[in-house]
Amino acid sequence: MTTPLLSALVSTYRGERWLRGCLDSLLAQTARDRLEVIVVDAASPEREGELVRAFRQQHPELPIQYVRTEVREPTSEAFDRATALARGRYLTTANTDDRHHPEFAATMLAVLEQCPQYGIAYADTAITNRDNETWAANTARLRFRWPDYTPAVALNCCLFGAQPVWRRAVHAEIGGWDPALKHANDQDLFLRIARRFGAVRVDAVLGLFLQRPDSNAGSANRAASLADACRVFRRHRQAWTLDEIVPGATAGGPFATAAAWCEVGNLCALGPYTDGELALAAYRRALEQPLTGDAAARVRHAFAINSGCVLAAAGATAAACSALRLARDGDDRRHNLALLAAAGERPPALRTMRFITLDDPVVEASRRGAVVLLTDGGQIWPAASRQVPWDVFEGPNGVPWSAAETAAVLQSTP
């Protein structure tokens, strides 16, 4: 039997109504001869096993491993089990209710084969609200356009999506899925991979995501999913060093270090997974740098303005006013004080307040995102984009999209 290049990991529990479509989507891959599928049935009360056995008889050309556990187990354990069974050099998750573009495997494999500097690659996904639509026939009019990868962006928002592809070898260094995380275990794993091995976005829509309220991250589980994600982001924001988030920060001197800490504080304060405590701690680290003269004055001003904004949004009005009054007089200070005065008992929203960034070449360089473009002739072309970490996620509910866009991008993909 030919060794596969890509192993698709499928975890199923009460997923019978979607599983056939999931397998059909994988069978439709133009690179199916380099693909294997591993289905872990977490003691589902439905008939996934019968479905898989029938599918294998009908389509022996698609290698499928099937494992049924004796008791229900969480997705972290199921994916660890599937990872241990995988033979492919690369891995991807294939949720039963999501679908793939026929060129998904070929494109993602080409990117990682040609770009060994990256450990994980991810692409955009179209969004549907209807069960079991296919790539060839779907009603999607929106897509998740994920940000390009930078460490700071990765610590600001979820950007890997549901269908990334990563190198199986990374698990020898970063371990497996965290069983303590029920909803954001994938985000945690992908951040660990990106931290150690790098990540890149593929500028194409290569998947079809089913948005449904009862999914693991759907609206019915929003509170638990948000709490899990915030836990993951806090863990990683505290674990990554400043030079991992803003490369070269400490080597750039005290002001570059202060500017980098200000950047970290802002990404913690202004992203979708806000952490005011960590933001304030980062601003204090900026203030601690040994600076004099105008440089010290700039850092003190940024500390006063940004700390005041975070305290105001947290409802600590008196402390916020005290902090803001330490800042130099100017439009930012007056704007924020006016918002605070007008807010009354209801704290002003963070996004309505004016934060300060400290301009420095090291910080500017850290905002260059990693993306690969698919060009004429089937070339994979690494590129870079400028991204402010807290202003990168275009539309949490998706942005306009049409299938013609993807067809144009992929017309000459290898």
pLDDT digits (tens, 9 = 90+) for 52-110: 999 999 999 999 999 999 999 999 999 999 999 999 999 999 999 999 999 999 999 99
Give the residue from 15, 203, 29 showing the smallest Cα distance to 100.
29
Residue 384 pairs in a beta bridge with: 370
Residue 411 has pLDDT above 90, yes or no: no
CB 106 within 8 A of CB 414: yes
The number of angstroms, rounded, from the C-alpha of 102 to the middle of its chain's C-alpha atoms is 23
Task: State pLDDT tens for residues 202-221.
Answer: 999 999 999 977 755 555 56
Give the residue from 229, 90, 241 showing the smallest Cα distance to 152.
241
**pLDDT of 219:** 53
The region, left, alpha or beta by phi > 0 then psi within -120 to 50, assigned to residue 60 is alpha
Distance of alpha carbon 191 from alpha carbon 185, whole angstroms: 10
**pLDDT of 44:** 97
Lowest mean pLDDT among 35-39, 145-149, 214-218, 272-276: 214-218
Q: What is the DSSP letter of 329?
A: S
Q: What is the 3-state secondary structure (H, E, C) of 126-160?
A: EEECCCCCCCCCCCCCEEEECCCECHHHHCCCCCC
Residue 348 has pLDDT above 50, yes or no: yes
Distance of alpha carbon 296 from alpha carbon 292, whole angstroms: 5
Residue 139 has pLDDT above 80, yes or no: yes
**pLDDT of 16:** 97
**pLDDT of 414:** 47
Residue 325 has pLDDT above 70, yes or no: yes
Residue 309 has pLDDT above 60, yes or no: yes
Q: b or e along 12-37 (b: 16 or more beta carbons within 10 Å of the residue's beta carbon)?
A: bbebbebbbbbbebbbbbbbbebbbb
**Confidence band of 380 (pLDDT split at 50, 70, 90):** confident
Residues 6+ away with beta carbon under 8 Å from 385: 148, 368, 369, 371
Residue 342 has pLDDT above 60, yes or no: yes
**pLDDT of 1:** 57
The model's pTM:
0.94
Tokens matching residue 329 = 């007089």
**Confidence band of 223 (pLDDT split at 50, 70, 90):** confident
CB 160 within 8 A of CB 123: no
**Mean per-residue pLDDT, 38-47:** 97
**Confidence band of 395 (pLDDT split at 50, 70, 90):** low
